[in-house]
A and B are shown apart, each in its own frame.
Chain A
């Protein structure tokens, strides 16, 4: 006689994360056998490496441009390249990406034009690109609110019966926000094809994870909502790519959402305005630099005969070219038009906004006349 499984047995069979983070390539570049994740094909591994080299260089360039006053602010993703490149490269053309302010590298991996991507952080406009062009939502600055938008996009795909998923990026701090919990719950109930990808980089600005949660791992937060959860090494691009591919297959098969917690580290301060020395020490940073996502993938690729010195030099040159392109783009004139302030508040003009626009334009014309007139 068989007994039906208990609630705990059923949950344990499908939902909880592994006891330790899943990985495919260890910190020294050595391969790991994984019963859960499939090593990406050779061409994907090379592409992951190339995009991470470019991403790191562009990230450093953006930080430098901020110091030069060319960007208003830039939250660096240095150290998180495997997450941002690996997760996005796994997406299909029809899928949506919901990035945060720290995910510019992810946005660029989705092939959004760099000048348009940096419009927000340059202070030009709140979002510089057309979200429908690459299916990339505006970079979200409030924490966790976009998790619900991603669930909505995914649910709409199910209603319309199209094979489409949404990937939403969030940080460890955002898992404390109520919207994350509502999003996981809605996604679980609706079996929405959505992937919650938590880049656990250790800090919410200055607050460490230990003050953020008592959970054994953030991935466990999916379990209570009936959401399949994975805990992975977020500095292993191959593992990130494979985990997102696995979540996409799960979603595509109608089995619903996945929560992925990727363990990584924010090497730089929160932004250029932050001082990380006030809340963490150099030894901690050094330990994480030894787990660098690029170095390990390079070692792995070289060992497998997939990468040589010429390739490394070539990718480096390409990265320099991208950085130069960004410098040039951020030195150009901003696409700023005062009348735009009123143009997109509603679908059409209102009496009040038409009057306010007229007021501003008259004020500008007056200023121009005064400045242009001989003294």
Chain B
């Protein structure tokens, strides 16, 4: 075991053992952890209920039985404790992959994440590396009660030193998690709960590097920028928009921090119009950063102001009302319609 914790920054994950059959996102994440555990004895998986139960979403199902209680285990119910002890384990040569049970239940770990996980490399001038993955099931759309549906990405993305990534498909979930585990930086790995049971075959190779955005659907007229749970809604919108005569390009950010300016700006320069979509509240939200960066870089290419379609600036609603809060296909189509098409014509 290496005490220096040197990883190759360019490390790429090998292909999963069985890629041909469609798997759920939960299954793909499970396979990614299983392959990482099998390939690297330093990897540990722990958190609340992740052992015997296999996690409340069953994402760690069977891992404790296969790899033993020393490598996959339940912790006491304390999130700061989970992240804080993971930091110590990483300092002592291990590679922890920890689970926060739900988005809003990760907040007790906030100090450990922002003051220590994010800063220890910087504090020690690069001598201490923390290759830790914090998995956080996030977002709504599942009928969850209070505190089970937050989109907390902006808190993490605002913190220098953290990588923040989120997959939108089972295939990307597998590869992005392998990339996150291989990454020498701490990674906040946001799992869109509403996509846990979506299915597809896992491709043999990753769609892109850990810090790159991907064009999921090419188009000419407007760029829809989305990530995580909203990507599927963006793709649905793009399909519906063809009926309105718009050829929509959909960009999947994947990496919320660092931000892939090159890929996203290139798309917006091509189309001249952009809409950013996310579930989280709009005020001081992640979309504001995206819109500002694109305005700074693409102003002379823009035919219309960049619009945002986000959740309202309210605490996450109860299940009976969440459909009014979440960005919908119609709401995104309406935003596209407001992109000053008449001026252009």
> Does A associate with B in a complex?
yes
A interface residues with partner B (beta carbon < 8 Å): 96, 125-127, 130-132, 137-138, 142, 145, 147-157, 159-160, 164, 166, 178-179, 182-183, 185-186, 189, 340, 343-348, 350-352
> Which A residues are in CB contact (< 8 Å) with B89?
152-153, 155-156, 159
Q: Which of B78, B93, B116, B120 contacts A156 (CB 8 A)?
A: B93
Please determine whether A185 and B76 come into contact, CB atoms closer than 8 angstroms.
yes
A182-B76 in contact (CB<8A)? yes
Query: Provided the pairs A185-B81, A347-B9, A350-B211 are in contact, do residues A131 and B124 lie with their beta carbons within 8 angstroms?
Result: yes
Contact check, A152 vs B88: say whether CB atoms are below 8 A apart. yes
Kindly name the residue among A96, A152, A166 whose own CB sees the greatest number of chain B CB atoms within 10 A: A152
| Interface pairs (7), CB distance under 8 Å | A151-B81, A159-B44, A160-B93, A178-B80, A179-B111, A186-B75, A347-B185
B1 surroundings in chain A (CB, below 8 A): 160
- B62 on interface, CB distance cutoff 8 Å: no
Smallest CB separation, B298 vs chain A (Å):
15
- A183's contact among B81, B108, B121, B160, by CB below 8 Å, is which? B81
> Which of B84, B122, B260 is close to A151, meaning CB atoms less than 8 Å apart?
B84
Q: Are B261 and A351 in contact (CB under 8 A)?
A: yes
Taking a contact as CB atoms under 8 Å apart, the answer to whether B160 and A348 are in contact is no
Look across to chain B and name the residue whose beta carbon is closest to the beta carbon of A156: B92
* Binary A-proximity of B72-101 (CB < 8 A = 1, otherwise 0): 000110101101111111111110000000
A contact face: mostly helix, strand, loop, or mixed: helix
The reply to whether A148 and B9 form a contact with Cβ atoms under 8 Å apart is no
Q: What CA separation (Å) do A350 and B258 show in the bound complex?
A: 7
With both chains docked as a complex, state the minimum distance between the C-beta of A247 and any C-beta of chain B, in angstroms.
18
Smallest Cβ distance from A192 to chain B, in angstroms?
9
Mark contacts of B313-342 with chain A using CB atoms, 8 A cut-off: 1 yes-contact digit, 0 otherwise: 000000000000000000000000000000
Q: How far is the CA of A348 from the CA of B10 in the complex (A)?
A: 10
- Answer whether A148 and B91 are a contact pair too, CB < 8 Å, given A126-B123, A130-B124: no
B129 close to A (CB within 8 Å)? yes
Q: Do A138 and B120 touch across chains, with their CB atoms under 8 A apart?
A: yes
Query: Chain B at the A interface: mostly helix, strand, loop or mixed?
Result: loop
Contact of B124 among A138, A348, A350 (CB under 8 A): A138
Q: Do A344 and B121 contact each other (CB < 8 Å), given the known contacts A182-B78, A186-B75?
A: yes
Once A145-B111, A345-B161, A346-B121 are accepted as A-B contacts, the answer to whether A182 and B84 lie under 8 Å apart by CB is: yes
Q: Is B125 a contact of A145 with CB atoms below 8 Å? A: no
Q: B80: which of A96, A164, A179 is its contact (CB, 8 Å)?
A: A179
- Contact in complex: B163, A346 (CB < 8 Å): yes
Chain A neighbourhood of B245, CB < 8 A: none
Q: Mark B26-56, 1 if CB is under 8 A from A, else 0.
A: 0000000000000000001000000000000
- Alpha-carbon gap, A343 to B163, bound state (A): 16
CA distance A352 to B121 in the complex (A): 18
Query: A159, B85: Cβ atoms under 8 Å?
Result: no
State whether B111 touches A347 (Cβ < 8 A). Answer: no
A183-B81, A351-B261 known; A156+B125 contact, CB < 8 A: no
Distance (Å) between the CB of B344 and the closest chain A CB? 31
> How many Å from the CB of B55 to the closest CB on chain A?
19
Q: Which residues of B contact A138 (CB under 8 A)?
A: 120, 123-124, 128
Contact of B70 among A150, A152, A159 (CB under 8 A): A159
Assembly CA distance A256 to B213 (angstroms): 47
Best-buried of B7, B111, B262 by chain A (most CB within 10 Å) = B111
Q: Mark B108-120, 1 if CB is under 8 A from A, else 0.
A: 1001100110011
B94 adjacent to A159 (CB under 8 Å): yes
Residue B127 is within 8 A (CB to CB) of chain A in the complex: yes
